[in-house]
Amino acid sequence: MTRRGFTVGEVLLALALLAAAGALAVTALTSLLADRSRLDARLEATEAATNALEEARARPWDELTPAWAAARPTPPALARWPGAKLTLKVEPEPDRPRVKRVTAAVTWDRPEMEPWPPVSMTTLLAARTTGGKP
């Protein structure tokens, strides 16, 4: 008499292999979703920093002050990311009296999670001249 089917040991081994494969798939999916979230946040941070630098470029030279930079709020697009903060700095460029360095940096204050690296952009803006005069 021949027997058909699987033994209990074979079935248990197959279930163990399926469980291990499922656990690996869930781990990979979780990692993928976390990376996607981080990349989305960095993209929005890059856009916010770019917009802040463009706004600085559009302002009159005399209004580009540290006080103006400190008064800028965090953009609404970044508000959806916990702990996101946009910081602007306006500094005179050493040895260049009519040039200012504007830096936009986005940082995340996430004490309960792995820290994300900041996004930072810098531009140099010179005083506009008309007819060769400042």
Specify the 3-state DSSP secondary structure of 89: strand
Instruction: Summarize pLDDT for 59-115 with one digit per residue, the tens.
Output: 988 889 999 999 988 888 888 888 889 999 999 988 888 899 999 999 988 777 777
pLDDT of amino acid 73: 87
Whole-model pTM: value is 0.72
The phi, psi pair for 124, rounded to 5°, reads: -105, 130
User: In angstroms, rounded to a whole number, what is the distance separating the alpha carbons of residues 92 and 83?
Assistant: 29
* Three-state secondary-structure class, residue 40: helix
Q: Which DSSP string corresponds to 47-66?
A: HHHHHHHHHHHHS-GGG--H
In order of 7, 21, 73, the CA distances from 17 in angstroms are 16, 6, 53
